[in-house]
Amino acid sequence: MLKKKNKENSETPENAAETTAENGQEQTTEATPSAEDKLKEELAQANDKYLRLYAEFDNFRRRTIKEREEARKTEGKDVIVALLPVLDDFERALRAMDKATEVASVKEGVELIQNKLKGVLTQKGLKEMKSIGQPFDADIHEAVTSVPVPDEDQKGKVIDEMEKGYELNEKVIRFAKVIVGA
């Protein structure tokens, strides 16, 4: 159809051939972009992809930092909640001590509270270390002093315990302070 219009507009057949040839070149240059244009477009797409990925990673980093901070604030929450009944028992025991006339009943009440506290801490992974009679181990014991012992079997072993040692989930959180036989 374009050829017909061009033929009508032109006076000679030669002009018609030149006109259609020029129109064909213009159409091909407009339809297919040059290699430079293609590369520029690919570069722009890659740049956009990079910027989006960088922004997404930055948002992820900020979000995880915020989540860690919130987790640190509340990481001991479950232990504290578990200890609240023990705290309540101590308050009741203190009130009962004011009215108590027998020491034995007060002592029994305090022992019950201690057992309850130990039970809660054991559920959370706390474990007492047994030291007395064991060979001294610098990885779990802290020697306060050494005392001479009459028996050769007691040398290098823990004679007495000043403070108990504790492990939390198989990791030492407090070394036992002990007296070692020399």
Token pair of 142 as six digits: 């802290």
Q: What SS3 state is found at 167? A: strand
- Report how far Cα 160 is from the mean position of its chain's Cα atoms: 40
Report yes or no: 144 and 110 within 8 Å, Cβ to Cβ. Answer: no
pTM score above 0.85: no
Domain ranges in the chain? Answer: 127-182
Q: Say whether pLDDT at 134 is over 50.
A: yes
Percentage, residues of the chain above pLDDT 90: 20
Residue 31: its pLDDT value, please?
58
Q: What is the pLDDT of residues 71-92, one digit of tens each?
A: 888 877 888 888 888 888 888 8
Reported as a single tens digit per residue, the pLDDT across 20-45 is: 555 555 555 455 778 899 999 999 99
Q: CB 181: neighbour CB atoms within 10 A?
A: 19
Confidence at 50, pLDDT banded by 50, 70, 90: very high
DSSP letter for 12, please: S
Which is higher by pLDDT, 158 or 33? 158
Please report, to the nearest 10 degrees, the dihedral formed by the alpha carbons of residues 61, 62, 68, 69 taken in order: 150
Residue 167 has pLDDT above 70, yes or no: yes
- Buried residues in 103-113 as b, exposed as e (16+ CB within 10 A): eeeeeebeeeb
In this prediction, residue 133 carries a pLDDT of: 86
- Residues 151-157, mean pLDDT to the nearest whole number: 85
Q: Considering the domain 127-182 in this protein, what is its CATH number? A: 2.30.22.10
Residue carrying the six token digits 């028996």? 151
